[in-house]
Structures are given as C-alpha cells and as structure tokens.
Structure 1
C-alpha cells in the first residue's frame, strides 16, 4: 500500500504501526473541531427539547459552539480521541501491509484487489473491538452540553469511563460496536484501498511521482470515497452511542426511528464536516505516515551501516 518506492527498504511492521499511530494522533489534533461539529450536527433532531440551539453548516456549528460553550468545547473528548488513534488507527493502518502480504501468501507479485479489500476488512474489524470504548467516551463528551440547565453527564475522559462502567455496565463501553464495525470496515476498505489504488495508478502511469503531491491527491480522493460510503453507518453509530440507556432498543431500531421521523437525509447529517474532517485527516495522516516511515527506515539503515 503506502509503501516506499522500489529503491527503498520495505518498512517493518513495527515502523508501520508506530508511524501510523503518531501520524493519526497529529491528524486528530488538527482536525478535531471538525469532528466535534460533525457529531453535533449528527445528533441534531434526535431530541428536539434538549437544546434550543440549531446548528447550521460547518463553520456555523463551530462558531456557535465557540460562542456559547467556549473554544475548549471544540476539543472536548480529545484525550479519548487520541487514545482511539493509538489503539485503533495504529493497527488498522499499520497492519494493513502485513495482512495484505498474508493474503497474498508472501508472493512478490502485486496484491490483487481482493487481497487489499480483505486486508482492509480484517484490520478495520480488529481495530474496532480494541478501540470501541475510546469511541464511546469521545462521542459522549463531544455531544454533551451545559446549556439550558443541562448538567453534563461527565466531567472528563476518565470520569466518563468510570461512570459508564459503573452506572450503566462495563459492556456499555462497547455500545454501538456493530454500526461502528460497519462504519470502520467501510472506511478502512474505501480509505486504504482507494489510496493504495490511486497512488499505484498515478505512479505506474507516470502521472505523478511517488512524492508528497501524489500522497496528497490520493488521500483527498480516498477521503471523499470513504465519507460517501460510511456516512449512514457513521450517523447511526453516533446517535446510538450518545443515546440514554433504553432510548433505542437496538441499532436497527435507531436506524428505523431516524428514517421514519427524519427521512433519508438524516443519514447524511454532518456530511460536509465529515468530508472536510476525513479528507483533511487523510491528507495529514498519509503524508506524515509516508514521510515518517521513510525517515525511520533511513535512520535504521544508517544505524545498521554504522554497526
């Protein structure tokens, strides 16, 4: 996938995982306000009496949040977001090449589209089960508001983990796993496979060199494809995770309630911030990922040469 050029040494699994984790955390810090805006737009309409404020558009939502709840609110849930990237993104992206090689039986021939998709499905699924508690806490912290007499459910990240586990149940930390699993495997496949294919196409056809511009354009296209395909599952996941206990009887009930009360457009709420966030996240992550891998492998070759 996001490998080095043929003249470079293929990065090790450890280098891939470390590079993916660091790059994903950097991307999350920069794009987190867009993610918060996306969550607020996605839950809008869920409970009409919860707030008199109506959010309009990406910039409008960010501006309204900053004015009414303070700039810090845009980064509410960031610690859980970073924990998610370390526990989830580092694996789903960092293990992609290794799993892809497994499905090709270690052959030197280029991986088939089927192998790429299987690798994306596998690493995306594993990442969800490991990182789901961080997703639940992140979404709930982003969604809660102190306006209109509403008392925030949680005072911070670790307080949220504790309260959810003790007042609801420990398994609630994995609430919404099924829609998040669907969302994550869709994103992982569309994001990684599209990036992989676009980069490969650009380089093989001499449209772009295997450099930063190629990585940037490939990441933008991957971000758009991932947003379009994952939006319905993402909205259902956010609604279900944020809902009070018993509000929805199941994930299908959540989806049907949205459909009957708000119609099909409800499944694409927050699409613009989703795209802006995912596209910018992809660009930052993949560009940093590629560069960090190369620098780490250069350093390793230098050390090996010196010894």
Structure 2
C-alpha cells in the first residue's frame, strides 16, 4: 500500500498475507451482526424465506437485528461465524495480501507504484497507474473467490437459516454443512454462485483497494494528514461507501442465488432477471443501509488493523533478525 516512508522496509509477502487474514477476522468479529442483517434483508421476499419465517418482516438494519434477537435470540446474529472466519483467513489473505505483488507484476516491477507520492508532488496519478491498480484488484479478488467459495456458500446459508421453534434447521454445524451440500448437491453445490461471486468480489476488491489506495495517497500527497490512524480511518470509510454503491446489486444477486434451493433459479442471470421483473430495480439495493454500515465499518476495522498488524509484525521480524 502507499504511504510507506522511504526508510521503511517493505513488508514481506508472508507478513502481508498473515496480517490481512488476521485483520479481516477481527473486522468480521466486530461487524458480523450487520452482515447477517444484510443477508436477511436481501433474501426477504423469496417464497422459501417467507414460508420459513412465517410472516416475520424485517424493516431496516436495526429493526432486523432487533427482530432477530426477539424471535431467535442474540446468538442468531452470529450464525455462520465459523465459516465467516474460515472465509476471511482464506479470502482476505489472498485478495489483500497479494495486491501489492500483483500490482508490481502488472507494472513490470516498476517502483513508481509503491514510492510515496506525497513529498512536494501534487501532480495527478497517471491513468496507466490507476489501470494497473484496477487490474490488480480484479485479479486478486477473482483469485480469492476461487479458493474461498465453499466457505462463502456455507456462511450465507447459515445466516439465512432461522432458529425458530418448529422450523427444521437446514444445517447443524459448519462441517456438517460442507458434507451435506457435497452429498446432496455435489461439488457444484459448494461452488454455487461462483460466477456472480467472482464478479462481485472482483468489483468489491478492485473498488475497495484502489479507492483506499487513491484516497490515502491523495491525503498524504497534499499533507492533509500523516500516515497514521486518522488517515487510515478516512481512507477506509471512503472506500467502504464507494464500494457499497458499486457492488450492492451484484451482492444481492449473489446472496439470493447462493441461498436458493436446487432448481429455483436456472442461473445467476435468471435470478437477476426474476428479481427485476417481479420486484423491480429497487430489489437490487435491498439491504443497502446494512451493506454500507457493514462494509464501511468493516473497512475501517480491517484496514486500521491491517496497517497496525503489518507494522507490529515487521518490528517483531526485525528484532528477531537483529538477535540472530
């Protein structure tokens, strides 16, 4: 990421992978109830979901959280947390940890992308550099989904599962869910919705990392803030808002399609078409507020944690090298 002081030693790939995965898990622990509320709002209106909830209506993010606590208990807000943490350790470590390396690969190893741009240089970032960043973000986002898709499927299904008396639970545990999906839907079931998920996460990763990169670079270049907590907070919050606006429609389709039983939709495109014709274009922005609250807060916690963990690991690594 930009903003590194010239005297700093660049973090190794291992440090970036571990700090990215750990930071994403911290962010998930803090924001998971918002993500669960988002999923419940996104699937609201589906026939299967309506039958399962027996007329329960979710209204707004905090209304959804309140309704879930009242009808299912507070633990329901963390349905699918284990799969969520598994997903982040696999998914975030790849999409964030590899970002700088892939960016350098596409730039032919040019150092200009990682040199601090803030000292006395208010010139705009070259369009070619922005293109490289966008391509790198899309690449690492797509790579990460290829590995983490089964964990995302299980997470979404757990979050959509209601815990009401008299309603049969679809899954009882994370490992049982993986096994059940594989036995009843095959390997394709574990990778269900992979195409919309790749599209969604390529968009999210590209927008999130590139926007964070550019906002942070602009702040440092114009000496608005130093490379510290307020700078990381502002950059992450801006990245969260822009990302939510761009990725929300794809995210809704992904959630609906991944949670659907076999045969409900022929494909992700059919799912999107059904939503558009039966519920109108506003259906694609269902759960927008919880999406933004979740993604905005997730970005803030993740990027702040990532920056701090990266520095702590580098200091620890340097101390170990000095002793040896």
Q: Same fold (TM over 0.5)?
A: yes
- Equivalent runs, 1:1-307 vs 2, <5 Å: 1=1, 4-47=4-47, 48-51=50-53, 52-110=55-113, 112-147=129-164, 149-307=166-324
Deviations 1:142-182 (A, max 9, x none): 10114373311111111111111001212210000111111
Q: What root-mean-square deviation, in Å, do the aligned CA atoms of Structure 1 and Structure 2 show?
A: 1.2
Using the TM superposition, give the Cα deviation of residue 3 of structure 1 relative to its aligned residue in structure 2, in angstroms: 5.7
Q: Kindly indicate whether the alpha-carbon contact (under 8 Å) linking 1:87 and 1:130 is maintained by their aligned counterparts in 2.
A: yes
Q: State TM-score, norm by structure 2.
A: 0.92
Quick check: 1:32–1:75 contact (8 Å CA) kept in 2? yes
Return the alpha-carbon distance in structure 2 between the equivalents of residues 2 and 241 of structure 1: 36
Retained in 2: the 8 A contact 1:236–1:251? yes
Q: Any unmatched runs of 5+ in structure 1?
A: none
Number of the residue aligned with 2:118:
none
| 1:99-121 Cα shifts (integer Å, max 9, x gaps) | 11111111222261111111101
Separation in 2, partners of 1:257, 1:69? 30
- CA distance in 2 between counterparts of 1:109 and 1:251 reads 40
Contact 2:240 2:295 in 1 (8 A): yes
Q: Distance in 1 between matches of 2:224 and 2:95?
A: 28
Aligned residue pairs, count:
307
TM-score, normalised to structure 1, is: 0.97
Instruction: Tell me the CA shift for residue 5 of structure 1.
Output: 2.5
Indicate conservation of the 8 Å contact 1:219/1:279, yes or no: yes
- Give the distance between the partners of 1:256 and 1:141, measured in 2 at CA: 25
What do residues 188-208 of structure 1 show as CA deviations (whole Å, max 9, x unaligned)?
Answer: 010000000000000011011
